[in-house]
């Protein structure tokens, strides 16, 4: 049959043209078989890659399937078994501690201890004694010898959270542990030697701190051997439904009942910017779980006001202006005198602006539509200096 001839072609991404000329039924069947083989091969490879990614996510105990998370899992996989110091960077609530635990779990030290401490939770003296321990009588209240967390973590992994908040004096001491593996307990005369793998984390911009002279450059390079950036939730919105399901599943297990999100509620979760990242989402889901009572399908009416009604997006960049306040934002203001209400609203908007800008006054001022100098004056007047810098 003359009609059994034809041509098929496709162009590869590099411009190469592939062309098949079919002249008869046998040819057609042969080429179709080759095409099917190629397709099934490609499908098998994709399935295998997906399975591997799912395995890594499970192994790490970190939920996520989005591109940025797959990249993170690949890094975790690559440094598996390594002893290298790691620096985990990311905004508040992105899962830095989870990543640090995964690094430990996937290392050769996994049968040893994972010890964590938060460098911003103590004053300098307390942190030094917490990290390096002290000798009895070395200061008032030191009634006995105390080993210090570096000793406790010997052989294992030590997670130094908020390392950007460490004082210059302690930075020197930490550098010594990293360089020589030794430290001096408070009040001791002999240094102690330990074998500790350090994973440090911070939500601060260490490079800028180095430039400004508040963080030691040599320490920065010692910590920054393997750098892992944990993406903000707004950079991986695909993960929101997955994370919501994960948290709902955990609550379902706890309470022995099931609940699901309505489409409208999920849409609102997807539209939010999540300045508090996964922690904020986790809290929101718990809140929804409680507030929805006996309902099996969680409706959007239970969402917290912070998620807006699609009208009040959080301040995102300097070019975005804050829209006019909604009725919700005015709640509790209308029963005050006008001057008091104006003051309360001003304070509230400045607080929100500073939080959204993570305490960056230039960005907050731009978003609020006032000058930086004006903002600083108001921040002082309302004693809001620490807003946006506080930790949850």
Ligand X SMILES: Nc1ncnc2c1ncn2[C@@H]1O[C@H](COP(=O)(O)OP(=O)(O)OP(=O)(O)O)[C@@H](O)[C@H]1O
Binding residues (CB under 6 A) for ligand X: these are 62-64, 90, 92-98, 203, 243, 246, 278-279, 282, 391-392
Measured distance CA(308)–CA(39) in Å, rounded: 46
Instruction: Residue 345: name its binding partner from ligand X, Mg ion, none (Cβ under 5 to 8 Å by kind).
Output: none
Do 388 and 354 touch, CB atoms closer than 8 A?
Answer: yes
Angstrom distances, CA of residue 348 to CA of 304, 378, 382: 17, 12, 10
Query: Whose Cβ is closer to ligand X: residue 3's or residue 392's?
Result: 392
3-state secondary structure of 7: strand
Instruction: Residue 279: name its binding partner from ligand X, Mg ion, none (Cβ under 5 to 8 Å by kind).
Output: ligand X
Query: Whose Cβ is closer to ligand X: residue 73's or residue 220's?
Result: 73
Do 356 and 364 touch, CB atoms closer than 8 A?
Answer: yes
The size of the interface with Mg ion (CB under 5 A), counted in residues, is 1
Measured distance CA(207)–CA(213) in Å, rounded: 10
Instruction: Residue 382: name its binding partner from ligand X, Mg ion, none (Cβ under 5 to 8 Å by kind).
Output: none
**Nearest-approach distance from CB 240 to ligand X, in angstroms:** 11
**Nearest-approach distance from CB 96 to Mg ion, in angstroms:** 5
Query: Whose Cβ is closer to ligand X: residue 278's or residue 314's?
Result: 278
Instruction: Residue 106: name its binding partner from Mg ion, ligand X, none (Cβ under 5 to 8 Å by kind).
Output: none
- Residue 367 corresponds to which tokens in the numbers above? 């978003």
**Nearest-approach distance from CB 269 to Mg ion, in angstroms:** 22
DSSP annotation of 22: E
- Binding to Mg ion, residues 85-144 (CB under 5 A): 97
Query: Whose Cβ is closer to ligand X: residue 93's or residue 156's?
Result: 93
Instruction: Residue 231: name its binding partner from ligand X, Mg ion, none (Cβ under 5 to 8 Å by kind).
Output: none
Query: Whose Cβ is closer to ligand X: residue 314's or residue 329's?
Result: 314
Instruction: Residue 92: name its binding partner from Mg ion, ligand X, none (Cβ under 5 to 8 Å by kind).
Output: ligand X
Instruction: Residue 31: name its binding partner from Mg ion, ligand X, none (Cβ under 5 to 8 Å by kind).
Output: none
Query: Whose Cβ is closer to ligand X: residue 90's or residue 275's?
Result: 90
- With CA atoms as reference, report the closest residue to 31 among 41, 21, 40: 21
H runs (alpha helix) in 61-205? 67-78, 96-105, 124-132, 149-152, 168-180
Instruction: Residue 203: name its binding partner from ligand X, Mg ion, none (Cβ under 5 to 8 Å by kind).
Output: ligand X
Instruction: Residue 156: name its binding partner from Mg ion, ligand X, none (Cβ under 5 to 8 Å by kind).
Output: none
Angstrom distances, CA of residue 383 to CA of 95, 349, 356: 31, 14, 18
- With CA atoms as reference, report the closest residue to 21 among 5, 35, 10: 5
Instruction: Residue 151: name its binding partner from ligand X, Mg ion, none (Cβ under 5 to 8 Å by kind).
Output: none
Measured distance CA(202)–CA(118) in Å, rounded: 10
**Nearest-approach distance from CB 92 to Mg ion, in angstroms:** 8
Q: With left for phi above 0 and alpha for psi between -120 and 50, is residue 46 left, alpha or beta?
A: alpha
Query: Whose Cβ is closer to ligand X: residue 67's or residue 147's?
Result: 67
CA 120 to chain centre: 18
**Nearest-approach distance from CB 246 to ligand X, in angstroms:** 6
**Closest residue to ligand X: CB criterion:** 95
Listed in sequence order, the residues at least 6 apart from 35 whose beta carbon sits closer than 8 Å to its beta carbon are none
**Nearest-approach distance from CB 92 to ligand X, in angstroms:** 4
- Residue 130 corresponds to which tokens in the numbers above? 């917490």
3-state secondary structure of 183: strand
**Nearest-approach distance from CB 378 to ligand X, in angstroms:** 27
**Nearest-approach distance from CB 203 to ligand X, in angstroms:** 5
Query: Whose Cβ is closer to ligand X: residue 102's or residue 314's?
Result: 102
- Residue 60 corresponds to which tokens in the numbers above? 């790490």
**What backbone phi and psi angles, to 5 degrees, belong to 61?**
70, 30
DSSP annotation of 350: H
**Nearest-approach distance from CB 96 to ligand X, in angstroms:** 3
Place of tokens 């009609």: 3
Question: Does 77 contact Mg ion by CB under 5 A?
Answer: no
**Nearest-approach distance from CB 97 to Mg ion, in angstroms:** 4
Q: Kindly state the greatest CA–CA separation across the chain.
A: 103
Query: Whose Cβ is closer to ligand X: residue 27's or residue 97's?
Result: 97
Give residues in contact with Mg ion (CB under 5 A): 97
């Amino acid at each position: 049959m003359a009609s059994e001839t034809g041509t098929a072609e496709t162009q590869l991404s590099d411009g190469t043209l592939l062309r098949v000329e079919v002249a008869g039924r046998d040819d057609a069947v042969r080429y179709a078989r080759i095409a099917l083989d190629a397709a099934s091969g490609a499908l098998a490879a994709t399935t295998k890659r997906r399975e591997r990614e799912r395995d890594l996510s499970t192994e790490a105990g970190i939920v996520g399937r989005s591109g940025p998370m797959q990249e993170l899992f690949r890094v975790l996989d690559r440094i598996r078994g390594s002893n290298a110091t790691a620096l985990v960077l990311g905004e508040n609530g992105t899962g830095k501690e989870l990543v640090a635990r995964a690094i430990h779990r996937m290392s050769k030290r996994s049968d040893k201890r994972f010890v964590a401490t938060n460098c911003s939770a103590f004053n300098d003296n307390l942190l030094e004694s917490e990290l390096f321990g002290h000798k009895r009588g070395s200061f008032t209240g030191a009634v006995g010898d105390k080993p210090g967390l570096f000793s406790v973590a010997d052989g294992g992994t030590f997670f130094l959270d908020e390392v950007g908040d460490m004082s210059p004096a302690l930075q020197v001491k930490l550098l010594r542990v990293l360089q020589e593996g030794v430290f001096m307990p408070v009040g001791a005369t002999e240094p102690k030697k330990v074998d500790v793998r350090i994973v440090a984390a911070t939500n601060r911009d260490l490079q800028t701190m180095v430039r400004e002279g508040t963080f030691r450059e040599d320490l920065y390079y010692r910590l920054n051997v393997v750098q892992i950036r944990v993406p903000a939730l707004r950079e991986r919105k695909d993960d929101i439904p997955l994370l919501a399901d994960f948290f709902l599943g955990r609550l379902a297990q706890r309470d022995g009942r099931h609940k699901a999100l309505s489409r409208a509620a999920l849409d609102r979760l997807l539209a939010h910017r999540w300045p508090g990242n996964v922690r904020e989402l986790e809290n929101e889901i718990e809140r929804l779980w409680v507030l929805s009572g006996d309902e099996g399908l969680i409706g959007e009416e239970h969402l917290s006001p912070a998620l807006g009604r699609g009208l009040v997006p959080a301040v995102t960049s300097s070019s975005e202006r804050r829209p006019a306040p909604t009725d919700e934002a005015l709640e509790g203001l209308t029963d005050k005198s006008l001057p008091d209400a104006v003051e309360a609203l001003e304070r509230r908007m400045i607080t929100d602006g500073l939080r959204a800008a993570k305490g960056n006054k230039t960005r907050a001022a731009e978003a609020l539509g006032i000058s930086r100098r004006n903002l600083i004056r108001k921040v002082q007047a309302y004693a809001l200096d620490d807003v946006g810098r506080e930790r949850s």
